């Protein structure tokens, strides 16, 4: 097991102590937890140095900002000839387009990658693929999520990503904001951000899976409350389509409010990582979307 952040990494061939990781403060690095590891300004290089013989799979849940960040990390693994299974919780369509461009290189190093495997895209997008099966034509896929976090401090990168989706903002502007500026913005909105028509790769993944013939049939939006762990709305995927006998109907997939963002993102991502490993072990290399394969259970 290896884990890394921007300040260092930890590694232990017989596993890391999860309670040590959980008890870390937001400004503490995983480099400090028991195990073989150290502080490093380039922890990805350290992980790559461990070599793919030690690593069955790599879960990439780095911040999504900027767009080039995750694809750039993957390119470093590829350049080093790293042969393993990968999975990410990538969100933006433009970032995912960069990921799919890596298909030939991933195949060359016999690696298998599943992208967009969090909640949205991920769990909810995959549910849309299932829902679509009842219909001969899909008219709309609406994903409307609710997230409640008691404090934005633990989710600084995620909240900045959300701010970047506001009409007056973009990725650069949100990334450059100081903590004080983020706090002032949240203060002016009662701690809530309501987002519409977000650039989420659910559109690309559902087009790729043949569920929609045009990306604009997929809409993603939601509300994040940064002052309460209670969700402001129930996260719901609604797929509307036409059946073979001409009826219009909607299937819905609704997440329970008590399941937090971490459970709905990291759970599916680990399941998809295991599926990516299965695909690799069966000689199927390259990159796939979370809409293409059911995740495997982790335990």
The verdict on whether 91 is a catalytic residue reads: yes
Instruction: For residue 256, give both structure tokens.
Output: 């329970």
User: Mapping DSSP to helix (H, G, I), strand (E, B) and coil, where does residue 179 land?
Assistant: helix
* Residue closer to a copy of itself, measured from CB, 82 or 285: 285
| Of the candidate residues 58, 59, 106, 126, the single one contacting a copy of itself (CB under 8 A) | 126
Least gap, CB of 167 to a copy of itself (angstroms)? 31
Hey, which residues does 146 pair with through a beta bridge? Answer: 223
Instruction: For residue 123, give both structure tokens.
Output: 């769990």
**How far is the C-alpha of 171 from the C-alpha of 79, rounded, in Å?**
27
| Of the candidate residues 28, 136, 179, 281, the single one contacting a copy of itself (CB under 8 A) | 136
Q: Any residues with CB less than 8 A from the CB of 19 and at least 6 apart, and which?
A: none
The verdict on whether 165 is a catalytic residue reads: yes
Q: How many helices (H) and strands (E) does the chain have?
A: 11, 12
Q: Does 210 bind a copy of itself (CB under 8 A)?
A: yes
- Of 46, 83, 91, 200, catalytic: 91
Q: Does 296 bind a copy of itself (CB under 8 A)?
A: yes
* Nearest of 259, 254, 256 to residue 143 by alpha carbon: 254
**How far is the C-alpha of 177 from the C-alpha of 15, rounded, in Å?**
37
Q: Does 132 bind a copy of itself (CB under 8 A)?
A: yes
Piece of 76-84, 127-135, 150-158, 189-197 that binds a copy of itself (CB under 8 A) = 127-135
- Of 161, 217, 274, 280, catalytic: 161
**How far is the C-alpha of 139 from the C-alpha of 156, rounded, in Å?**
36
Piece of 48-56, 143-151, 176-184, 287-295 that binds a copy of itself (CB under 8 A) = 287-295
Q: Does 120 bind a copy of itself (CB under 8 A)?
A: no
The DSSP code sequence of 147-183 is: EE-S-GGGGHHHHHHHHTTSTT--HHHHHH--HHHHH
Piece of 130-138, 146-154, 196-204, 216-224 that binds a copy of itself (CB under 8 A) = 130-138
Q: Does 295 bind a copy of itself (CB under 8 A)?
A: yes
User: Distances in Å between the alpha carbon of 283 and those of 52, 108, 115, 208, 279?
Assistant: 16, 12, 18, 22, 6
Q: Does 123 bind a copy of itself (CB under 8 A)?
A: yes
Instruction: For residue 113, give both structure tokens.
Output: 């990658």
Q: Does 204 bind a copy of itself (CB under 8 A)?
A: no
Contacts with a copy of itself, residue ranges (CB under 8 A): 123, 126-127, 129-136, 209-211, 240, 243-245, 247-260, 262-264, 266-268, 270-271, 282-284, 291-297, 299
């Amino acid at each position: 097991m290896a884990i890394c952040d921007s300040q260092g990494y930890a590694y232990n061939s017989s596993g890391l102590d999860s309670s040590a990781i959980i008890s870390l403060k937001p400004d503490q690095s995983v480099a400090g937890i028991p195990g073989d590891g150290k502080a490093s300004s380039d922890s990805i290089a350290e992980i790559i140095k461990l070599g793919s013989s030690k690593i069955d799979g790599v879960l990439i849940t780095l911040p999504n900002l900027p767009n080039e960040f995750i694809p750039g990390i993957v390119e470093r693994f590829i350049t080093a000839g790293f042969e393993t299974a990968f999975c990410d919780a990538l969100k933006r369509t433009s970032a995912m387009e960069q990921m799919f461009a890596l298909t030939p290189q991933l195949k060359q190093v016999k690696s298998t990658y599943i992208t967009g495997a969090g909640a949205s895209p991920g769990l909810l997008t995959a549910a849309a693929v299932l829902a679509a099966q009842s219909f001969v034509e899909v008219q709309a896929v609406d994903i409307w999520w609710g997230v409640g976090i008691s404090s934005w401090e633990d989710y600084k990168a995620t909240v900045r990503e959300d701010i970047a989706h506001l009409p007056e903002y973009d990725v650069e502007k949100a990334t450059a904001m100081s903590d004080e500026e983020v706090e002032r913005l949240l203060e002016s909105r009662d701690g809530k951000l309501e987002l519409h028509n977000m650039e989420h790769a659910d559109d690309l993944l559902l087009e790729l899976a043949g569920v929609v013939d045009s990306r604009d049939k997929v809409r993603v939006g939601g509300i994040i409350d940064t002052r309460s762990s209670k969700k402001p709305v129930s996260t719901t995927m609604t797929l509307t389509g036409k059946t073979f006998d001409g009826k219009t109907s909607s299937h819905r997939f609704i997440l329970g409010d008590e399941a937090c963002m971490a459970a709905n993102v990291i759970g599916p991502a680990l399941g998809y990582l295991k599926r990516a490993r299965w695909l690799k072990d069966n000689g199927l290399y390259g990159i796939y979307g979370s809409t293409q394969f059911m995740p495997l259970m982790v335990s």
